[in-house]
């Protein structure tokens, strides 16, 4: 098997063309090769790989990646290399979501490993300190120990220097502005919050309209910093395709990013539904 490789130029040309044509960009996460191949077949422009997606595929919630139960970067690189890359044809490009705060790895080496397997886009979500509430004790402890957004910004900057596509992500306006000013990413995703729904989703109580309002407020600020940034919406009230259409109709985003919406939730429904039908079968009564 020979996996088709891409380049920063090819990826950015594709994304800019979609922006120019006003066609929404679709970024979607995959925790397995089967999901990646289906996402590509369905028309996803980018397939994300990250430890949260792999854990999600094993029945855990995405946020379980915040607990130190695995080497996030090793998991991401290993399953991207072994499960995802061999499963795709090259119509979608792969973005590896990395832990830039990994104290045991030189991020230049990690980025070189990504390029060697054909991954030319990276994000800072795997995981990001932006997940953690700033007024919490754990946030203060983590940042004191060197787990900082600065490391994520440095990784995104390095990725561009290494001729890769940088996809920034943050959960609040303050971090979004810091990433945009410090890293000038090619693509930025304002993550409105953990996706609700399904067996492991978390519902903060925020409405879709509230998600839209916060997202658009961030976009206006970010475009003031980098006018040509490609902006992607994700999370919180964005669960269904109908929600996605509402986001497209009411924000100035260039596309959407799905995780649980095109992976965990539909798998739960489909597998359970068919398995239940089989489990409910009975032998025909003999007369």
* pLDDT band of 9, cuts 50, 70, 90: very high
Tally of domains in the chain: 1
Pair 7, 55: CB distance under 8 Å: no
For residue 240, is it within any domain? yes
Handedness of CA 192, 170, 200, 262 (dihedral sign): positive
For residue 1, is it within any domain? no
Mean pLDDT (the chain) is 90
Please report the pLDDT score of residue 60 as a whole number. Answer: 64
Instruction: Name which of 6-10, 48-52, 193-197, 259-263 the model is least confident about.
Output: 193-197
What gap in Å lies between CA 43 and CA 183, rounded to an integer?
29
Measured from the Cβ of residue 15, the count of other Cβ atoms closer than 10 Å reads 22
In this predicted model, what pLDDT tens digit does every residue of 12-37 receive, in sequence order?
Answer: 999 999 999 999 999 999 999 999 99
Task: Give the structural domain span for 82.
Answer: 8-279
197 CB burial (10 A radius; 0-12, 13-18, 19+): middle
List b or e across 216-250, with b for residues whose CB sees 16 or more CB atoms inside 10 angstroms.
Answer: bebbeebeeebeebbbbbbbbbbbeeebbebbeeb
Domain harbouring 179, CATH code? 3.20.20.70
For residue 71, is it within any domain? yes
Q: Is the confidence at residue 200, as pLDDT, over 60?
A: no
Bridge partners of 49, per DSSP, are 96
Q: Are strands 25-29 and 46-49 parallel, antiparallel or unpaired?
A: parallel
What gap in Å lies between CA 169 and CA 189, rounded to an integer?
5
* pLDDT band of 68, cuts 50, 70, 90: low
> And the tokens for 39?
């996402």
Please report the pLDDT score of residue 64 as a whole number. Answer: 60
For residue 162, is it within any domain? yes
Instruction: Name which of 53-57, 72-76, 160-164, 240-244 the model is least confident about.
Output: 53-57
For residue 247, is it within any domain? yes
Which has the higher per-residue pLDDT, 261 or 69?
Answer: 261
* pLDDT (average), residues 211-235: 94
* pLDDT (average), residues 132-157: 93
* pLDDT band of 282, cuts 50, 70, 90: very high
Nearest residue to 8 via CA among 160, 211, 146:
160
What gap in Å lies between CA 243 and CA 221, rounded to an integer?
23
% of the chain at pLDDT higher than 70: 91
For residue 28, is it within any domain? yes
In this predicted model, what pLDDT tens digit does every residue of 123-143 receive, in sequence order?
Answer: 999 888 988 889 999 899 989
What gap in Å lies between CA 97 and CA 135, rounded to an integer?
25
- pTM for the model stands at 0.90
- Show the beta-strand stretches assigned E in 50-197: 93-97, 121-123, 165-170, 187-191
For residue 48, is it within any domain? yes
For residue 174, is it within any domain? yes
Please report the pLDDT score of residue 285 as a whole number. Answer: 86
* pLDDT (average), residues 272-278: 96
Please report the pLDDT score of residue 12 as a whole number. Answer: 98
């Amino acid at each position: 098997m020979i996996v088709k490789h891409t380049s920063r130029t090819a990826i950015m040309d594709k994304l800019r063309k979609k922006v120019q044509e006003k066609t929404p960009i679709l970024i979607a996460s995959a925790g397995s090769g089967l999901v990646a191949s289906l996402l590509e077949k369905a028309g996803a422009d980018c397939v994300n790989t990250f430890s949260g997606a792999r854990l999600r595929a094993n029945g855990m919630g995405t946020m379980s990646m915040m607990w130190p139960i695995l080497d996030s970067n090793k998991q991401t690189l290993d399953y991207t290399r072994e499960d995802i890359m061999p499963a795709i044809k090259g119509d979608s490009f792969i973005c590896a979501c990395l832990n830039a705060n990994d104290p045991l790895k030189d991020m230049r080496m990690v980025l070189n490993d990504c390029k060697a397997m054909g991954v030319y886009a990276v994000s800072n979500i795997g995981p990001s300190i932006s997940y953690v509430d700033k007024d919490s004790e754990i946030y203060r402890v983590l940042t004191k120990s060197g787990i900082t957004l600065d490391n994520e910004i440095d990784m995104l900057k390095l990725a561009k220097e290494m001729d890769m596509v940088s996809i920034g992500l943050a959960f609040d306006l303050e971090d979004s502005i810091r990433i945009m000013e410090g890293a000038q990413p090619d693509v930025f995703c304002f993550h409105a919050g953990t996706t609700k729904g399904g067996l492991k989703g978390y519902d903060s109580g925020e409405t879709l309209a509230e998600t839209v309002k916060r997202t658009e407020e961030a976009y206006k600020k970010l475009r003031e910093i980098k006018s040509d940034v490609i902006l992607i919406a994700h999370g919180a009230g964005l669960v269904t395709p109908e929600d996605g259409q509402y986001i497209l109709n009411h924000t100035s985003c260039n596309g959407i990013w799905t995780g649980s919406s095109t992976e965990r939730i539909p798998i739960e429904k489909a597998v359970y539904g068919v398995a239940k039908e089989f489990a409910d079968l009975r032998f025909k009564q003999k007369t």
